[in-house]
Structure 1
């Protein structure tokens, strides 16, 4: 049973457009008057973060929408301070909706005398008062185990499957899904199964950290429309080189589907000048103007997915049904054809 008469959403400054879209989606499809809680999240002159809510949240089921993207530290502190403010205001339950979970790439000790920052962030969120986490495409699935509270990890692959079936209808038989490295094979295989496509792998060898010395394609990509699948694109160097390697191996064209478009530094320029016909990302991270205006970057919405997940959590229903693209086809009705 729902904890309160309706879920309450509050947003930090990291991605207010996504938070507003989630609220609109919930209002439109559930006949609920869901609006973002009236609050201010601002900084003092010295950079300290201050939060004040102008509505009563006592006994409410609260959902904080705040990806911890760039600037990661500021956005993480906003999330922690909002959580503390809600806890001290007697909110009944606090769920952190973190579309992009920053620090997720620091999920293990790759060498001596280094931190496991993802675990530290998990501890901080729990200690602040977060009682549940809703996120999407964690960089490593084991991060869920860093928390001693429930974690719902949504997947972008069902949404990507809908998008691919819509945009590649008529030549879906020519599509091949490609993993940009051996570590991403499971993610790529999952999408390949959803669209009934073959799978290839780009094997990369590094001579030193941050530099790819050689790439080799495992699989026959001749004449195929290759779709590179990954969870994060940061500076896009490896992605663009993988696309070039696929073209040199005989691919007809290359596209990429990446969940989280971090796209820092020279990423946008690299992508626009690359051989890729398109890069598709989600709006888990608010797109700055260069990303939004890039000629070959397209953004797919996640608000319908997160809105339904929030409703399911509030009502005590299963979230796993959202892993099925057939279920999502009704949620995304009007965006894509279900065919």
Structure 2
């Protein structure tokens, strides 16, 4: 059975349809003292596939409870799909006496599952923190599907060199276009930092700025503003994980973004395409 966390109900339903598995209906309650209780009263089967984005501290607790609930209900095989792993960017200690938060979370998850599937983790090395087998799932290619079919001389731009692979995956799925990434340049006299595409020109081209995650939107909106100033015809933003915290959408639109597209690893208004096919392939490889 597919068991959804409360933050991943659309993706879980799509995954159930994609794989032919039944969909459990968990309950998510809260006691007067603020404690949560996630339960799976209709779970019936030996296999459980828990699908739960950990986009908040409450979601982390809920996932641990769902893992324990399906074991209590008789599950003998548990796979935990983490569409978006919160704390993944805290993959190192920031100073003496501070935690490696990604490691702490991974160890907690490992106690209640037989294996983990991570969708486009921000840092691939977080997989090493788990105590059970982990497979990273690349869902970036699905972002090509909702893009306009008439992009003019498209340029797929990553906000930095580390995200070039994500941009290339979208370009490859789209079928045409060029890839590039932004470089940062610091003025020696003023100390001001400017960003610009490393090689490709943007003038009169449709540009898709691609990243694995848009959190606050600050970095991407800065990049988009440069493209707008350089005469890009249209600028679209695409990401696997549309966290879009606080006023991120406003920042992007004000900078000149024509459209934002994301997957349902984090369920937002721009989650117009599902990561389910990629996750299904990882659950049931051919």
Instruction: Give deviations 1:278-301, integer Å, cap 9, x for gaps.
Output: 1111111122xxxx2xxxx56222
Structure 1 match to 2:60: 76
Local SS of the residue matching 2:136: strand
Instruction: Look up the match of 1:244.
Output: 225
Task: Compare the two structures and name the one with the higher helix fraction.
Answer: 1
Q: CA deviation at 1:241?
A: 1.4
Distance change in 2, residues 1:45/1:178 (3 Å): same
Q: Classify the secondary structure of the residue corresponding to 1:74.
A: helix
Taking structure 2 as the reference length, what is the TM-score of the superposition? 0.87
Whether the 8 Å CA contact 2:261–2:272 is kept in 1: the answer is yes
Q: Distance in 2 between matches of 1:205 and 1:124?
A: 40
Question: Which of 114, 121, 124 matches 2:108?
Answer: 124
Choose which of 37, 40, 43 in structure 2 pairs with 1:50: 37
Q: Which of 150, 157, 162 is the matching residue for 1:178?
A: 157
Partner of 1:187: 166
The CA deviation string for residues 51-101 of structure 1, in whole angstroms up to 9 with x for no partner, is 33323546x1101111101xx110010000111122233311111111111
* Structure 1 gaps, min length 5: 1-7, 28-33, 319-339
Deviation, 1:163, is: 4.0
Contact 1:179 1:230 in 2 (8 A): yes
Instruction: Call closer, same or farther: CA 1:218–1:25 in 2, change over 3 Å.
Output: same
- Residue of structure 1 aligned with 2:183, choices 181, 203, 206: 203
- CA distance in structure 1 between the partners assigned to 2:186 and 2:120 by the alignment: 25
In 1, Cα distance between equivalents of 2:218 and 2:195: 13
- Between the aligned partners of 1:56 and 1:157, the Cα distance in structure 2 is 32
Q: TM-score, normalised by structure 1?
A: 0.75
Deviations 1:180-234 (A, max 9, x none): 1233233324444553422222123589xxxx83223312222221111101111
Q: Contact conserved, 2:3 with 2:48, CA < 8 A, in 1?
A: yes
Tell me, which stretches of 5 or more residues in structure 2 are unaligned? none
RMSD: 2.4
Q: Compute the displacement of 1:145 (Å).
A: 1.6
Superposition pairs of residues 95-244 of structure 1, within 5 angstroms:
95-127=79-111, 129-164=112-147, 167-169=148-150, 171=151, 174-194=153-173, 195-204=175-184, 213-219=193-199, 220-244=201-225
Q: How has the CA–CA distance of structure 1 residues 245 and 10 changed in structure 2, closer, same or farther, with 3 Å as cutoff?
A: same
Check whether the contact 2:264–2:271 (CA below 8 A) recurs between aligned residues.
Answer: no
User: How far did 1:176 drift?
Assistant: 0.9
> 1: distance between equivalents of 2:27 and 2:202?
52
Q: What is the CA–CA distance in structure 1 between the aligned matches of 2:235 and 2:4, rounded to whole Å?
A: 36
Shift in Å at residue 306 of structure 1?
3.1
What SS does structure 2 have at the residue aligned with 1:229? Answer: strand
SS of aligned partner of 2:144: helix
Q: In 1, Cα distance between the equivalents of 2:197 and 2:178?
A: 14
Cα deviation digits, residues 265-319 of structure 1 (max 9, x gap): 11122233231111111111122xxxx2xxxx56222234334543x0xxxx35x
Query: How big is the shift at 1:106?
Result: 0.8
